[in-house]
Amino acid sequence: MNIKKIAQNTKYNAVTNTAMCAESTPVYAAFETGVAGMTDAVSLNARLIVLGAGYCGAAWVYGQGRSMWRKAFKITDQTREAKQHLHDAMYAVSFNAVTAPLLYLISGETDIKKIALATASASAICLINGGPLGYAIDVFNDLAGVRECERKSYPQVIKKQSPKVKKAIAAGIVAASIGLTALVYEVVPNRKIKMDTEKQTETQKKVTMHDSTIYNQPLEQRINKQFAIYNAE
């Protein structure tokens, strides 16, 4: 493989990963924390691992697998959008079923039920989000000047823009995705903080009940207890 081909594949991998993360990170962050019951820390670890793995080549694997899938089923940019979205969803579900359990284990989640729920939720997301994810890959590669997007639904007003304007649009989408993800972690209650707060409240209740029991006793009984403790020492 020559240097030019390596450079092209590297650029394709970087752009494809950026597209996938920009499109899917807010969605998965919401489902992991709001539905699967994972803490912000575990969810964020999962998102960062996906981001890092993508730039290390996983996005290239996903993109090449998607291209092979489309070729096998004779799907092109000119195919009806509904059919393209359907096949992207089917491919995303298949890819997720294999990779999601491993991802959550590496991220620090040890509860098998939570991993199963997160994987099932992610697969459900793929059924809905697989199409938009594939579309994002095609559009981002066009915006970055890697591969031209000929899909009929791709707005000509964007397609005809200069490379500089297209890259600015891509950067704006990435910034919006980061802001939306931060909002998700801010709005959805952190499960760990909630659990710790509940434990602290329960402990405080027990302490209060204990103190109340002591101080409600007759004075003579309380004094006798104190003398008993003193004599025992």
Question: Which amino acid is residue 223, in one-letter code?
Answer: I
Could you tell me the residue range of the domain that residue 223 belongs to?
192-233
Q: Mark whether 140 and 225 lie in a shared domain.
A: no
What's the pLDDT tens digit per position in 118-163?
Answer: 888 888 889 999 999 999 999 999 999 999 999 999 999 999 999 9
Q: How far is CA 224 from the centre of its chain?
A: 61
In the listed set 188, 209, 224, which residue is the last one of a domain according to the structure? 188
Domains in the chain, number: 2
> Which of the four pLDDT bands, split at 50, 70 and 90, describes residue 181?
very high
**pLDDT tens for each residue of 211-231:** 555 555 555 565 555 555 555
Indicate if the pLDDT at residue 83 is higher than 50.
Answer: yes
Return the ∠ at Cα 223 (arms to 217 and 228), rounded to 5°: 115
152, 169, 188: which is the final residue of a domain?
A: 188
- Are 176 and 143 contained in the same domain? yes
For residue 194, is pLDDT > 50? no
The pTM assigned to this predicted structure is 0.76
Residues 160 and 205 in one domain: no
Q: Are 16 and 141 in contact (CB under 8 A)?
A: yes
**Does residue 75 carry a pLDDT above 50?**
yes
pLDDT score of 184 more than 70: yes
Residues 81, 98, single domain; the answer is yes
| CA-CA-CA-CA dihedral for 124, 129, 130, 136, to nearest 10 | -160
On whether both 134 and 149 belong to a single domain, the answer is yes
Q: Which tokens sit at 217?
A: 């006793």
DSSP H or E stretch at residue 38: none
Residues 71 and 179 in one domain: yes
Same domain, 83 and 59: yes
Letter for the amino acid at 109? E
Report H helices in the chain.
Answer: 3-34, 40-53, 59-72, 81-106, 112-143, 156-159, 163-187, 191-215, 219-232
39 and 114 belong to one structural domain = yes
Helix (H, G, I), strand (E, B) or coil at 162: coil
Tokens 């993360």 correspond to 21
DSSP tag of 57: I
The lowest-confidence range among 16-25, 86-95, 207-216 is 207-216
Whether 199 has a pLDDT exceeding 70, the answer reads: no
Average pLDDT of the chain is: 85
